[in-house]
Amino acid sequence: MLNYIWLSLIIVGIIVAAATDWHDLSADRYHNNEQDFVTIRLLDTAVSSPELNKPYSCSVSYRLPLEKQAGGALPSTPQRGELTCTGPDNGLLRIIIGSGAPLQWRDRLSAQPGADAISARVRWIGRDRGMIPLAPLEFEKLKFVKLNAVTNDGILKSARSAVELAIGLIGIMALWLGVMKIAEQAGLVAKLAILLRPATRFLFPGVPADHPAMGAMIMNISANMLGLSNAATPLGLKAMEELNKLNHKAGTATDAMCTFLVINTSNVQLIPATVIAIRASAGSSNPAEVVGPVLVATALTLVIGITLAKLLARLPVFRKQLAP
């Protein structure tokens, strides 16, 4: 069901992005059909003739069209830029967008998440003492901005990150699972289960000590504490199956079931193998330093969870539901 939900969200996202892009193209939001003119002043006044392929800091002033000048529109604030000459009368202009920039430039910048500048090809007729009085800009036409963001920056980038993370986890997970398997074969899990038996009798008073559910729960808790989540899952399912055999009212979770679910969800982590593996794959210099904080955090969540489960179990509304 969750897969269908994710697929539906992806399809809806693509449809919305395509519709938004179609509206932007119809309204010419990015002014693809207009040409902008600017005045460029090199900040280094000593430069009379810029060298080829060398970037120069400059000031870029937007030239209002004649119809806007006649309409009384306010001129834009000069923007910082960088001019690189690629020929005697043309070059590449990078404009750093700040306050007071023309609306169409700000719209173009919004199509580049995380960027602070836009780029354009520029050509001119003449220049005088580091100033180009009139130069037309040639921007790349922007189309399907939202759709590209959803597919390339969203779906494909997330899928690539997931694959890279999964591959990075293989080595460290294999190491930790191997270590835990050795501990299991050496009897560490069984010894931990013996230590947990008095606590489980207190937490599950309605479950007989010799019932198969008790053994499955103890083994599940022990495996989770050691980070053996793969081994703990079938044990948890087996524990729930055995607890259901003690249930007097089918379809309603018993106190033991609820308590065990809380413990299984917020179990104490002695060795958080998955977290250590993720930190190692992300390049952490000390991936195991989270052992202490994780131990304290999981212990607190376990105590709080069990306390709430026991308190809620005393409420009359729940006692009535569990009555045979």
Higher per-residue confidence, 205 vs 47: 205
Angle, in degrees to the nearest 10, between helices 212-225 and 255-265: 20
What are the domain boundaries of the chain?
A: 31-141, 187-322
Kindly report which listed range (70-74, 85-89, 114-118, 222-226) carries the lowest average pLDDT score: 70-74
CA distance 216 to 232: 9
Residues 91 and 85: beta-carbon distance below 8 Å: yes
Asked whether the CA dihedral 35, 36, 37, 40 is positive or negative, the reply is negative
Kindly report which listed range (129-133, 162-166, 224-228) carries the lowest average pLDDT score: 162-166
pLDDT at 70 over 60: no
Write the pLDDT tens digit of every residue in 165-189. Answer: 667 656 655 665 566 567 667 776 6
**Residue spans of beta strands (DSSP E) within the chain:** 37-42, 55-63, 79-87, 90-96, 117-123, 131-138
CA distance 214 to 260: 10
Instruction: Please state, for a pLDDT cut of 90, what percent of the chain lies above it.
Output: 4
Average pLDDT of span 119-146: 82
CA distance 20 to 181: 53
pTM of this prediction?
0.47
Average pLDDT of span 55-72: 73
The DSSP code for 139 is P
- And the tokens for 143? 């189309």
Q: What is the pLDDT of residue 1?
A: 61
At residue 138, what are phi and psi to the nearest 5 degrees? -120, 100
Write the pLDDT tens digit of every residue in 247-260. Answer: 877 777 788 888 88
**Residue whose token pair is 């007097």:** 248
Q: What is the pLDDT of residue 224?
A: 79
Angle at 304 between CA 324 and CA 190, to 5 degrees: 80
Q: What is the pLDDT of residue 92?
A: 92
Residues 61 and 39: beta-carbon distance below 8 Å: yes
Mean pLDDT, all residues of the chain? 78
CA distance 273 to 291: 9
Angle at 252 between CA 250 and CA 256, to 5 degrees: 105
Q: What is the pLDDT of residue 82?
A: 92
